[in-house]
Amino acid sequence: MPGKPDWLRVPYFNGPDTKPTEELINELKLHTVCIEADCPNRRECFSNKTATFLILGTKCTRNCSFCNVSFGIPKPVDEGEPERIAAAVKMLCLKYVVITSVTRDDLPDGGAAHFSNVIKEIHKTVPDSHVEVLIPDLTALKIITDESPAVICHNIETVESLYAAVRPDAGYYRSLEVLRNIKDLDPGIVTKSGIMLGLGETRDEVLKAFDDLLDSGCEFLTIGQYLSPGRDHYPVHEYIKPHIFNEYGNIAKEKGFRHVLSAPLVRSSYHAGRNYSLTTTG
């Protein structure tokens, strides 16, 4: 595979310093997916005093071949984490917060109660904030929907045919069912998902994934380029050109998604608050 094309080279972000955000995260002993997943947009986000918080530790019980988060035996749940995250939200003056987690198959509820506690603490500490949660394919969804997050995101990540290679411990239709069940539990919660391109999928498979997501009640969609974290991970099969991302984004909008963000460096939490605001204020 040739080197990254120019459109995937992240320009130096000449904005405010990232240190205040980084120091606050370290001081409160919090984790972010920005760092754990080596997100290409993290400097921009940290400079703007925002981050996607990673709860339930940094060790995942699944070893997906596309992901940079470490596989291993997780530590016990940190009961003080919800309060520290809420404190960070208040200090960063965040009005829109994105919370995600590693997959915790070792927990009976998959970590749903901890998600619930984080949402509850944020709402208590910063009452006018909106919370988006990016969750694994856990089944105890009502514990989370009862706390009324603004958005619940669950990424399908790739097309059905690639699950065995890319997400061997997950299931394509299981992920679609998560999105469907969220809507059944609370139709007022916005549902969201994301898909990566460049893993070897075909155009027809991508369009089918769009249709399957819509059939499951998904409203927001993000589409981005897969970037392999290293040699031991799933390889990039193709660098998708920007105009193809534009084309897929337009198709997805025409099919009926309420909001679509499609570009090579898009990630599911990128500009999440701005995108939510665009759909709720007109």
pLDDT tier for residue 111 given thresholds of 50, 70 and 90: very high
Instruction: Tell me the per-residue pLDDT of 207-226, one tens digit each, with 9 for 90 and over.
Output: 999 999 999 999 999 999 99
CA distance 21 to 91: 10
DSSP H helices in the chain = 19-27, 33-36, 42-47, 81-91, 112-125, 141-145, 163-166, 172-185, 203-215, 242-255, 272-280
Query: What distance in Å separates the CA atoms of residue 183 and residue 134, rounded to the nearest whole number?
Result: 15
Is the pLDDT at 15 greater than 60? The verdict is no
Nearest to 162 by CA among 175, 172, 173: 172
Query: Strand 31-32 and strand 52-55: pairing?
Result: antiparallel
Cα distances from 257 to residues 7, 10, 98, 279, in angstroms, run 26, 28, 20, 11
Nearest partner of 219 among 131, 150, 142, 118, judged by Cα: 150
Q: How confident is the model at residue 131 (pLDDT cuts 50, 70, 90)?
A: very high
pLDDT tens-place string over residues 21-33: 888 888 999 888 7
Q: Which of 107, 87, 108 is nearest to 97 (CA)?
A: 87
Mean pLDDT score, 178-185: 98
Task: Say if residues 99 and 151 touch (Cβ distance below 8 Å).
Answer: no
The pLDDT confidence band at residue 4, using thresholds 50, 70 and 90, is confident
The reported pTM is 0.92
Are the beta carbons of 13 and 42 closer than 8 angstroms?
no
The domain tally of the chain equals: 1
| Backbone phi and psi for residue 60, each to the nearest 5 degrees, phi listed first | -100, 145
pLDDT given for residue 6 in this prediction: 87
Q: How many helices (H) and strands (E) does the chain have?
A: 11, 10
Q: Quote the CA–CA distance of 267 and 263 in Å, as a whole number.
A: 9
Tell me which DSSP letter residue 102 carries: -
Token pair 């193809």: residue: 244
Range of the domain at 140: 10-280
Mean residue pLDDT of the chain comes to: 90
The pLDDT score that the predictor gives to residue 182 is 98
For 242-278, write each residue's pLDDT tens digit.
999 999 999 999 999 999 999 999 988 877 777 777 7
The answer, yes or no, to whether residue 60 has pLDDT greater than 90, is: yes
pLDDT for res 232: 85
The answer to whether residues 29 and 75 touch, using CB atoms and an 8 Å cutoff, is: no
Q: Where residue 229 sits, what CATH number does that domain have? A: 3.20.20.70
Distance from C-alpha of 187 to C-alpha of 184, rounded to nearest angstrom? 6
- Give pLDDT tens digits for 233-248: 999 999 999 999 999 9
**pLDDT higher than threshold 70 for residue 282:** no
Q: Which contiguous run of DSSP H or E holds residue 235?
A: none
Q: Which amino acid, 249?
A: G
What's the CA dihedral at 205, 140, 122, 132 to 10 degrees?
10
Q: State the average pLDDT over residues 55-65.
A: 92
Q: Classify burial at 188, counting beta carbons within 10 Å of its beta carbon; exposed 0-12, middle 13-18, buried 19 or more.
A: exposed
The CA radius of gyration of the chain, in Å to the nearest whole number, is: 18
Query: Stretch 107-129: mean pLDDT, rounded?
Result: 97
Percent of the chain scoring above 90 in pLDDT: 68
Question: Residue 112, Cβ neighbours under 10 Å: how many?
Answer: 24
- Residue 12: which pLDDT band, with cuts at 50, 70 and 90? low
pLDDT of residue 83: 97
At 234, list the tokens. Answer: 């799933």
Is 4 within a domain? no
2 belongs to a structural domain: no
In this model, does residue 156 exceed pLDDT 90?
A: yes
Stated length of the chain? 282
